[in-house]
């Protein structure tokens, strides 16, 4: 039975007392289960102290090499903590310190955050260690989500009604005869009558998916789940990744037929949805019956082929009819390349459903119709009208559907979180992403902005939390995990629309939450993660009740924390729980631990998105970085510079440091060949320069080059600081500050040749008395090492006749005083 939602207009699906009674009924041929309510309530204090495993919470499946890699640590420490990423062999491959986040409102935990995104290595069995505690193990791999993509979609095959589940496809534990085909004890779905007073005929409504843990089939839940599976293919096709969800990628009976397997699976439900349409010539022709299920709640556990109850059709509804119109219209455009006849059949059903809904706009499913199945009541269907119109318009381009879209009050409104009872956003996604939609450009831009604005809101919510969840702290209701997955889908759509990495990051971090980075340190997907759910509420995957039955198969998605505690097991075991911790892995906790097709559908969509191989980012060519870029070397002494790369090299890189020109007294004496790898590229290495003792009085200079294969080179200027007493130079210098402001100034320096011989090139030197630092210069090349400045002519102004002058300017910053320098040297000799 699918979820209660966050929306006030949705009611609980069933009375707890009625379901508990049903749960206690055994299937006809199976042993009776233990009493589900026989669990002593746990005191609130015990719940608060419940063991949730290691304090370090990670995505227990793992991380993509090119994706975000973040974790949460439960700690009350007020200062950052050290962390280490360790390989399966125990070696530390990365380390750092946590960021203190503090209180997480939804869980009550004090949290720190770890970010190891910069580690791009791959492997299995990594752990994250903080304060001596190691996380559950995880992998880092580009293929990380391939298995989950397949298994989360494979869930639907195993939920099929009206077909035998093949051991060769599902495994022997999950093989079973076809359910509800009229083979005793089944009454079957091939000739199902209406409830009393609804109709006077019976319909063949075989096939489709069992909705959730029960064996009902509901059009409004089938519509959204089908749309999401088909949309996952549409998105993959637009992204050029449709081969990954193409033919023979799933274990379904139709594999190898030339149609993508995900579309084969969705077709199983589409056929059922169209069978639920009221036939021509009958009252309400073209409408869709709301649901079909047992007259009373199916006992737990009960395999489908052993269900002996009478099945019943429930009154048609406008909401169900519009779900049929929307999903069938989507079918018509997506299936056309593979089966044009089926696509035409879908479009005919969609048109008839739209016409019937327009003629019957307020046929609402009652909230009281909850005997034997969920009510799925919905008292406001403007959103379904908008969604259906959008799908029909995207498929046909016809004016009647365009006008229905643009005249809807929802067309200009903000994007709401979507769910089975609130579907307008599905229409917006279609309008924003399907190529060739003929809305005006301004309309399309506004819809796309609506979606990205909603995504930004979810990212803001995530940023304020200790576990980065795209729902608010009061959003832990029935099916909260489906809210996480649906909101993450909007974030991923924003990535498709913009290409901005923050959206891909947000969608992937939402998966982190679902797969273990959460307050309970639990993966909510069976078979994925070291500590994963395995006792989801289900009628025939019911090992907890009957050891002869299997656990839910890998890829089954639990509903998640629900602070409403709307079943006896949750009430007994979770009293006093913080909202994000109101979950128990017990088959009886239907309000926290049920599975449902509309929960697995967004999980499958997200897994397919995450499994896409991204085009590798352009590998930047590393730059050789030398610090400082100019250095003074005392005559007879040495000076050092530091060298590293700006990015990891594609191959090991040895840097050659060599004098290119200038004074031969300056040379490299140590560190002439620093070597860098992908592991040490950011670690600075030392190069030593020396100036030989000589008899002249000139401060010689030399230029050095730094080169390396696969890296952009750099240059270094070294100036010898002569220790001999130089003769006075025939020069004078005027230093003038032209303008000054807080923290900065510009100045002009004028050199005058006071001698009798012309200068053929000049180098002017001085030392700032304060912390002035030149940022740029003009009419000279200026370098600075510490306080020492060297300014050289730039060729055209190098010749200065006797009595002539050469001027240049510069801009500099400072934080202390801005006292002018008092001593200047020309070509190494002090000006007289």
Measured CA angle at 538 (ends 537, 541), to 5 deg: 120
305 is catalytic: no
Integer angstrom CA distances of residue 40 from 43, 80, 494, 569, 575: 9, 41, 47, 9, 11
What whole-number distance in Å separates Cα of residue 551 and Cα of residue 537? 10
Q: What are the beta bridge partners of residue 623?
A: 712
What whole-number distance in Å separates Cα of residue 215 and Cα of residue 212? 7
Among 280, 273, 275, 257, which Cα is nearest to 320's? Answer: 273
> Following CA atoms 597, 168, 241, 58 in sequence, which dihedral angle do they give, to the nearest 10 degrees?
60
Helix (H, G, I), strand (E, B) or coil at 99: strand
380 phi/psi in degrees, rounded to 5: -150, 115
Q: Please say whether the dihedral angle defined by the alpha carbons of residues 643, 648, 653 and 659, taken in this order, is positive or negative.
A: negative
594 is catalytic: yes
**Residue 615 CB burial class (10 angstroms; 0-12, 13-18, ≥19):** exposed
543 is catalytic: no
Give the active site residue among 151, 211, 214, 496. Answer: 214
Token couple for 668: 């490299």
214 is catalytic: yes
> Following CA atoms 454, 459, 461, 463 in sequence, which dihedral angle do they give, to the nearest 10 degrees?
-170
Helix (H, G, I), strand (E, B) or coil at 639: strand
Give the active site residue among 112, 180, 537, 538. Answer: 537
Give the active site residue among 585, 586, 635, 720. Answer: 585
The DSSP-derived string for 456-476 is HHHHHHHHTSSS--SS-TT--
Token couple for 768: 């700032």
User: Which H or E run includes 781?
Assistant: strand 781-785
**Residue 750 CB burial class (10 angstroms; 0-12, 13-18, ≥19):** middle
Query: Percentage helix, strand, coil, to 5, in the chain?
Result: 30, 25, 50
What whole-number distance in Å separates Cα of residue 576 and Cα of residue 725? 85
Question: For 15, left (φ over 0), alpha (ψ -120 to 50), or beta?
Answer: beta
Tell me which residues are annotated as active site.
214, 537, 585, 594
């Amino acid at each position: 039975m699918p979820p209660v939602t966050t929306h006030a207009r949705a009611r609980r699906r069933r009375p707890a007392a009625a379901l508990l009674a049903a749960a206690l009924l055994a299937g006809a041929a199976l042993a009776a289960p233990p009493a589900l309510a026989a669990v002593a309530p746990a005191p609130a204090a015990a719940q608060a102290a419940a063991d949730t495993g290691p304090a370090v919470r990670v995505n227990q499946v793992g991380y993509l090499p090119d994706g975000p890699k973040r974790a949460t640590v439960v700690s009350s420490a007020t200062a950052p903590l050290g962390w280490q990423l360790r390989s399966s062999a125990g070696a530390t491959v990365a380390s750092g310190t946590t960021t203190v986040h503090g209180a997480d409102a939804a869980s009550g935990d004090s949290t720190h955050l770890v970010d190891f995104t910069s580690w791009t290595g791959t492997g299995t069995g990594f752990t994250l260690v903080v304060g001596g505690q190691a996380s559950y193990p995880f992998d880092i791999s580009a293929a990380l989500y391939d298995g989950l993509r397949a298994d989360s979609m494979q869930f639907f095959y195993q939920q099929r009604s009206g077909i035998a589940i093949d051991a060769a496809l599902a495994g022997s534990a999950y093989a079973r005869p076809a359910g509800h085909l009229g083979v005793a004890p089944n009454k079957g779905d091939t000739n199902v009558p209406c409830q009393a007073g609804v109709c006077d005929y019976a319909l063949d409504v075989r096939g489709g998916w069992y909705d959730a843990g029960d064996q009902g089939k509901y059009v409004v839940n089938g519509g959204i789940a089908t749309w999401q599976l088909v949309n996952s293919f549409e998105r993959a096709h637009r992204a050029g990744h449709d081969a990954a969800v193409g033919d023979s990628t799933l274990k379904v009976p139709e594999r190898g037929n030339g149609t993508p397997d995900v579309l084969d699976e969705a077709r199983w439900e589409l056929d059922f949805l169209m069978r639920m349409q009221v036939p021509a010539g009958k009252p309400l022709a073209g409408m869709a019956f709301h649901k079909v299920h047992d007259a009373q709640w199916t006992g737990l556990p009960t395999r489908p082929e052993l269900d002996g109850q009478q099945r019943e059709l429930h009154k048609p509804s406008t909401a169900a009819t519009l779900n049929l119109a929307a999903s069938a219209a989507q079918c018509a455009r997506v299936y056309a390349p593979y089966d044009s006849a089926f696509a035409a059949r879908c479009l005919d059903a969609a048109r008839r459903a739209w016409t019937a809904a327009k003629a019957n706009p307020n046929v609402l499913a009652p909230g009281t119709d909850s005997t034997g199945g969920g009510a799925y009541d919905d008292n406001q269907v403007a959103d379904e009208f908008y969604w259906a119109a959008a799908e029909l318009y995207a498929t046909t381009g016809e004016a009647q559907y365009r006008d229905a879209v643009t005249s809807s009050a929802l067309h200009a409104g903000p994007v709401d979180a979507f769910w089975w009872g609130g579907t307008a956003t599905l229409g917006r996604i279609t309008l924003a992403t399907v190529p060739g939609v003929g809305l005006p450009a301004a309309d399309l831009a506004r819809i796309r902005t609506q979606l990205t604005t909603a995504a930004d809101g979810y990212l803001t919510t995530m940023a304020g939390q200790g576990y980065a969840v795209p729902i608010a702290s009061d959003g832990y209701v029935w099916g909260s995990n489906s809210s996480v997955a649906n909101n993450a889908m909007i974030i991923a759509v924003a990535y498709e629309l913009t290409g901005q990495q923050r959206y891909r990051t947000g969608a992937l971090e939402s998966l982190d939450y679902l797969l273990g980075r959460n307050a309970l340190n639990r993966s909510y997907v069976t078979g994925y993660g070291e500590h994963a759910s395995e006792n989801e509420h289900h009628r025939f995957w019911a090992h907890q009740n009957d050891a002869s039955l299997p656990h839910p198969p890998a890829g089954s998605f639990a509903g998640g924390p629900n602070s409403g505690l709307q079943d006896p097991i949750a009430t007994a075991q979770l009293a006093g729980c913080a909202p994000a911790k109101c979950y128990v892995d017990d088959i009886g906790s239907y309000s926290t631990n049920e599975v449902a097709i509309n929960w697995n559908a967004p999980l499958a969509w997200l897994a397919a998105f995450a499994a896409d191989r991204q085009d590798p980012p352009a590998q930047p060519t590393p730059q050789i970085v030398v610090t400082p870029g100019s250095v003074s070397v005392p005559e007879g002494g040495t000076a050092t510079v530091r060298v590293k790369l700006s990015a990891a090299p594609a191959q090991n890189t040895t840097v050659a440091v060599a004098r290119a020109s200038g004074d031969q007294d300056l040379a490299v004496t140590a560190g002439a060949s620093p070597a860098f790898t992908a592991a040490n590229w950011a670690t600075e290495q030392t190069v030593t320069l020396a100036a030989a003792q000589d008899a002249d009085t000139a401060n010689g200079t030399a230029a050095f080059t730094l080169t390396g294969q696969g890296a952009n080179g750099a240059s270094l200027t070294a100036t010898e600081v002569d220790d001999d007493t130089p003769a006075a130079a025939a020069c004078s210098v005027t230093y003038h500050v032209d303008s000054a402001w807080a923290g900065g100034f510009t100045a002009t320096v004028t050199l005058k040749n006071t001698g009798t011989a012309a200068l053929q090139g000049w180098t002017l030197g001085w030392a700032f008395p304060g912390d002035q630092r030149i940022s740029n210069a003009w009419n000279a090349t200026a370098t600075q090492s510490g306080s020492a400045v060297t300014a050289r002519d730039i060729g055209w102004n190098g010749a200065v006749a006797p009595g002539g002058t050469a001027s240049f300017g510069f801009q500099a910053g400072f934080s202390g005083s801005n006292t002018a320098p008092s001593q200047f040297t020309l070509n190494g000799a002090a000006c007289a």
